[in-house]
Structure 1
Amino acid sequence: MALNTTLRQDSFITLRDTIRWRVALVLASLIVVVMITLGTINTKLGLTDTARLAWAVLAVASASVIVLLLTSRRLGGTIFFASIAAILLIVPIYGLEIDRNMQHWAYIFPPLLVFLLRPGPSLVAMVAYGIYVSWITALLLPPIEVVRFSSGYGLTVCFMYTYALLQEQAAKMLRYHSDHDALSNCLNRRTFNEALDRLASTRNGFQSCEFLLIDIDHFKAINDQNGHLVGDRIITQVAAELGRSLVADAPLFRYGGEEFAVMLVDADEGAGEALAERLRSAIEQGDFQGVKVTISVGVSRWRVGRGKVESALQKADEALYAAKRAGRNRIEVASA
């Protein structure tokens, strides 16, 4: 598994699952209260069929609360919304069996799908469900009622699908800016720290990683001689040049001010050194508009069962400073 894949399982997803879980818990609690009220009222009025439906929904909602409290937040939220969707699929058929129209339940379905599916699949499910309920409504009510329901439901679908698209795009923008450095467009230090944690986690199954710590040589002098605007441009150009020279599954992070980091997960031994030399050469030969730019690189390797990930990272940092002391524009590989 590439490290880029595991980066998707980060704090952003945890936050999303937590919010969805909280919404599910509140909704489940409200459904319990509402169904108790409806069940009691229908029972007193002698409406046995609708009372039976209310008690059935109450049982599902009560079980959902227990599931939400006892399982993981992601699983619990998914089970709750899937359970409500299953109820909404059954309700129209139940209404047909007791010769009573239940089309008003259908308006719950589109907003529910926003919590369960991505916009594309949710639109397909909304339309299919609308056709299904319209067909059952046609068996119970005059055609004009089918038209009225279809019109109202169709507008609800349009609004909910538009909202789902906006929400998805907003989430992508927020996620990108929370994961990336604004100047260099590299992944940021927070994301690097999350990647370290996942690398060290045994459940992800990683066996090794080569760390490359990269520093722009004499960057303070570049700033002093050319100004900070030029310094910012150099950081941006170096990041772009490094990105072009990297393999697809090796994420590039902005580790510090003028320092970058690369992780090569489960790569062949020596791949880190070869990549470091390729990066060094690319920057040395790059065109930085009249400014001479070089980099120094420190490389270290971590293996499962041979010390902590943090220790390997520290070795890469020490190798980087050794490259600096040895004259810069070079790479140094930490001893095993």
Structure 2
Amino acid sequence: MPHLRRDSFTLLRELMRWRVAMVLSVLIFALMIVLGVINTRLGLADTAQLAWISLAVAGGCIAALLALPKHHGGTVFFVSIAALLVGVMVFGLHHDRPMQHWAYIFPPVLVFLVSSRVALAGMIAFGAYASAMLAPLVPAIDVVRFSSGYGLLVCFMFTYALLQERAAVMLRYHSDHDALSNCLNRRTFNEAVEQLASGRTPAAGCVFLLIDIDHFKAINDRHGHLAGDRIITLVAAELGRVLDADMPLFRYGGEEFSVLLADQDPEAARAIAERLRAAVAAADFQGVPVTISIGLAAWRRGEGSITAALDRADRALYEAKRGGRNRVVADAPTA
């Protein structure tokens, strides 16, 4: 489930890229008007033509950014600028004008468009291409100077992009995960539920498992809160060991966990819940006896609200508690 969702982290990243693209489009649009006018007045018809072409590209990007969804609009902008820069090199060769100063824009454009390693390959390829376009127009030493400066820029941009990617991975992990249990957190659970309810995932339904550590207050009172924290961590690890990789485990709150089983048969889900219960009951928690109670309820799109299914799972959990704990109780429709 988590890899299918368009979560708040992804949406924020797309929004920021869209804003950068919009600001740059407006700045390029204004700058090209100035350059077009100046070159026209100086009688430089070819560079004036390039400015008007760039103006048209910037105008088209602004229209795309306003008309398209933000993730598509940002991509259109950076692809358009990259294509423009490739064309500028050919334009310069055709008009016997060296355009190497435009080439320095290409590396940061790629950093916004693709992953760091793909960007590195693209930057190197474009550098070789720009040098080839420049070679017939300037002395060899100027080609060497351009290549050296461009190469240093590529090194800095690749390092920056790599650091940004690593920082984003770390930020996303800590944004999505609970610090104590290393499970996915409640915010991530809410987003996964919202994705299901809105139909933005392929899953047609799911089974919710709500899990609660039995007598957790007594564990805290008898062994201390640090021991209670350790029990939460160990129970989470035991649950994660039993679950398959595509079965996300969330810390629902306090000593409660939840599992979201997409497109799972209710009877199969109950069998999974029984395995979870048995695994925790049989595990060694450093001398502290620990069991869990589990309530489950199924939901299918078009058959009631997903919130109602969660309420049914919650009621089933309390029924398991009232029935003696260390047991699985399914909501009546899934029995």
Q: 1:60 aligns with which of 54, 57, 75?
A: 57
Matched, 1:296 2:290: no
Alignment partner of 1:290: what SS? coil
User: Equivalent residues in 2 for 1:140-155 (5 A)?
Assistant: 140-155=137-152
Deviation at 1:203, TM superposition (A): 4.1
Matched, 1:108 2:117: no
Quote the residue 1:23 is aligned against: 20
User: Equivalent residues in 2 for 1:22-171 (5 A)?
Assistant: 22-171=19-168
Matched, 1:334 2:335: no
Q: Percentage identity across aligned positions?
A: 63
Distance in 2 separating the partners of 1:32 and 1:248: 49
The CA deviation string for residues 248-271 of structure 1, in whole angstroms up to 9 with x for no partner, is 211000001000000111112311
Deviation at 1:138, TM superposition (A): 1.1
**TM-score, normalisation: structure 1:** 0.98
Q: 2:206 aligns with which of 197, 205, 209?
A: 209
Q: 2:2 aligns with which of 1, 4, 14?
A: 4
Deviation at 1:44, TM superposition (A): 0.2
Quote the residue 1:310 is aligned against: 307
Q: 2:251 aligns with which of 244, 250, 254?
A: 254
Structure 1 counterpart of 2:4, which letter? T
Distance in 2 separating the partners of 1:314 and 1:55: 61
Checking the alignment, whether the CA contact within 8 Å between 1:4 and 1:250 is kept in structure 2 is: no
Distance in 1 separating the partners of 2:44 and 2:254: 71
Distance in 2 separating the partners of 1:275 and 1:52: 68
Distance in 2 separating the partners of 1:39 and 1:289: 76
User: Equivalent residues in 2 for 1:241-280 (5 A)?
Assistant: 241-280=238-277
**TM-score, normalisation: structure 2:** 0.98
Deviation at 1:123, TM superposition (A): 0.2
Deviation at 1:4, TM superposition (A): 3.0
Checking the alignment, whether the CA contact within 8 Å between 1:223 and 1:231 is kept in structure 2 is: yes
Distance in 2 separating the partners of 1:77 and 1:71: 9
Deviation at 1:5, TM superposition (A): 2.4
Alignment partner of 1:204: what SS? coil
Distance in 1 separating the partners of 2:155 and 2:43: 38
Alignment partner of 2:266: what SS? coil
The CA deviation string for residues 58-96 of structure 1, in whole angstroms up to 9 with x for no partner, is 011011111111111100000001000000000011100
Distance in 2 separating the partners of 1:99 and 1:4: 53
Alignment partner of 1:177: what SS? helix
Distance in 1 separating the partners of 2:207 and 2:147: 59
Distance in 1 separating the partners of 2:302 and 2:94: 63
Distance in 1 separating the partners of 2:33 and 2:189: 50
The CA deviation string for residues 223-265 of structure 1, in whole angstroms up to 9 with x for no partner, is 0000000000000000000000002211000001000000111
Give the RMSD, CA atoms, in angstroms.
0.8
Distance in 1 separating the partners of 2:205 and 2:26: 47
Q: Tell me how many residue pairs correspond in the alignment.
A: 333
Structure 2 counterpart of 1:270, which letter? E
Distance in 1 separating the partners of 2:101 and 2:109: 14
Distance in 1 separating the partners of 2:268 and 2:160: 46
User: Higher mean Cα deviation, 196-205 or 160-169?
Assistant: 196-205
Unaligned runs of 5+ in 2: none
Distance in 2 separating the partners of 1:284 and 1:202: 37
Alignment partner of 2:105: what SS? helix
